[in-house]
A = this chain, B = another copy of it.
Amino acid sequence: MLTDLPLDQLISYRSSQTRPDDFEEFWDTTLAEARQHDVDVSAELVETGLTTIDTYDVAFAGYGGERIRAWLRVPAGASGPLPTVVEYIGYGGGRGHVLDNLTWASAGYAHLYMDTRGQGSRWSVGHTPDSAASGPQIPGFVTRGIEDPSTYYYRRLYTDAVRAVDAARALPQVDVERIAVHGRSQGGALTLAVAGLRNDVRAALAFVPFLSDFPRATRITDAQPYREVADYLATHREDVARAHRTLSYFDGVNMVSRASAPALISVGLMDPVCPPSTVYAAINAYPAPCEVLTWDYNGHEGGGPVDVERALTFLKAQLG
């Protein structure tokens, strides 16, 4: 069933989220600190049994200079810099098994698939720890360090995602003029964040993105993982304003404010996990051209493989 507003209201919906005065300063400072560490990319060819794809075990310096793992996949024996997709992962997963996620490399792209710090256990394995202290939290990652923007988990993860593009640019297989960012759900949130924090990505492909319009998202769904915030605030009931202040520094609605790359965003009108109004909140705030894939009868799976098919077409148009 529909989980949110009808389509005609979605199209004009605007979030009530506000942008902190020091939002840009916060992110400029955060990224500058991260860049004090050399990106220091390593890439080691691994044996996978695949013959059409070469796979590299990559690591680079993310937030705090900590080592972030990734897989780089390229068509076997590819020579010359390739158009590139930097991809981020959905909530709970990690960079997974070397035999998974072959589509982008099979389509001729260099594909950098970034691990998610601390996650990588629920539906695919990961190999990157999260490093920081965390105040009392609801199990999961959405309230880890929510006491303050400076300690919030997504400050570290968004920074990793920005640095993943720096890492990609340092790899010989990558054509630095043709980099797109991409992800689904949490990966879509990172995609939009990076699109807003960097001006050198050429396209942003965000499917059913998470972490957008927290004031509404935390009130209109009981589905995880937005529900982690409501669970936290049910107990920390006197900290509602403080938590929302933290979240405002990470809300997709604000993250996209400086984006310039063309975007392709998908949304499922029956999605209880990332209700469509919260996705449209980001779409309607996106300052550059944005193509929308609206799926009437889909939940959080959105357009599934058809989203990918459309993305291939979109990227061909953007990256040549």
* A139 CB–B CB distance under 8 Å: yes
* A8 CB–B CB distance under 8 Å: no
* A23 CB–B CB distance under 8 Å: no
Q: Give the one of A51, A122, A136, A306 with max B CB within 10 A.
A: A136
Q: Is the CB of A121 within 8 A of B99?
A: no
* A25 CB–B CB distance under 8 Å: no
* A150 CB–B CB distance under 8 Å: no
In A284-320, the 8 Å CB interface with B consists of 295-299, 301, 303-306, 308-309, 312-313, 316
| Stretch in A170-178, A190-198, A230-238 touching the partner | A230-238
In the assembly, how many copies of this chain are there? 6
Of B107, B133, B135, which one neighbours A50 at CB under 8 angstroms? B107
Q: Is the CB of A52 within 8 A of B106?
A: yes
Q: Is the CB of A124 within 8 A of B235?
A: yes
Q: Which residue of B has the minimal Cβ distance to A151?
A: B129
In A166-193, the 8 Å CB interface with B consists of none
Check A297/B103 contact, CB under 8 A, given A122-B231, A219-B1, A230-B270: no
B interface footprint on A100-127 (CB within 8 Å = 1, 0 otherwise): 1011011110000000001111111111
* A138 CB–B CB distance under 8 Å: yes
Interface of A, helix, strand, loop or mixed by DSSP: loop
Residues of B within 8 A of A230 (CB): 1, 270, 297
Residues of B within 8 A of A313 (CB): 49
Residues of B within 8 A of A123 (CB): 235
* A76 CB–B CB distance under 8 Å: yes
Residues of B within 8 A of A52 (CB): 52-53, 75-76, 105-108
In A56-73, the 8 Å CB interface with B consists of none
Q: How far is the CA of A106 from the CA of B238 in the complex (A)?
A: 24
In A125-170, the 8 Å CB interface with B consists of 125-141, 143
Q: Is the CB of A125 within 8 A of B118?
A: no
Residues of B within 8 A of A118 (CB): 134-137
Q: Is the CB of A99 within 8 A of B51?
A: no
Return A238 CB to nearest CB of chain B, in Å: 7
* A222 CB–B CB distance under 8 Å: yes
In A36-52, the 8 Å CB interface with B consists of 49-52
Return A72 CB to nearest CB of chain B, in Å: 15
* 7 A-B residue pairings within 8 Å (CB atoms): A50-B103, A51-B108, A52-B75, A99-B305, A118-B136, A126-B136, A218-B297
